[in-house]
Amino acid sequence: MNFALNRRLFLQASTVAGGGFMLGFALPGNEAEAAAAPEVNAWIVIQPDDTVIVRVAHSEMGQGAFTALPMMVAEELNADWAKVKPEFINPTEHVQRNRVWGGTATVGSRAVRTSHEYLRKAGASAREMLIAAAAQQWKVPASEVRAEKSVLTHTPTGRTLSYGKVASAASRMPAPKDVALKPHTEWTILGTPKSRVEIPDKVMGKPVFAIDVRLPDMLFAAIEHSPAFGGKLKSFDEKAVAKMPGVRAVVALADSAVAVVADSYFEASRA
Per CB under 8 A, contacts with another protein among 78-107 are: 88-92, 94-96, 104-107
d(CA 45, CA 32): 15
The piece of 40-48, 131-139, 171-179, 217-225 that touches another protein (CB under 8 A) is 217-225
Give yes or no for residue 243 binding another protein (CB under 8 A).
no
Residue 118 DSSP code: H
- Which one among 142, 151, 181, 219 touches another protein, defined by CB under 8 A? 219
Picking from 186, 20, 161, 28, the residue whose alpha carbon sits closest to that of residue 93 is 20
d(CA 48, CA 150): 12
- Nearest residue (CB) to another protein, 155 versus 236: 236
Question: Do residues 53 and 45 touch, judged by C-beta distance below 8 A?
Answer: yes
d(CA 130, CA 154): 12
The piece of 4-12, 123-131, 140-148, 260-268 that touches another protein (CB under 8 A) is 260-268
- Nearest residue (CB) to another protein, 142 versus 222: 222
d(CA 270, CA 266): 6
Scan residues 10-49 and list those touching another protein (CB under 8 A).
17-18, 21, 25-27
Kind plus residue range of the DSSP H or E element containing 16: helix 3-16
Give yes or no for residue 249 binding another protein (CB under 8 A).
yes
Scan residues 117-156 and list those touching another protein (CB under 8 A).
none
Give yes or no for residue 76 binding another protein (CB under 8 A).
no
- Nearest residue (CB) to another protein, 82 versus 228: 228
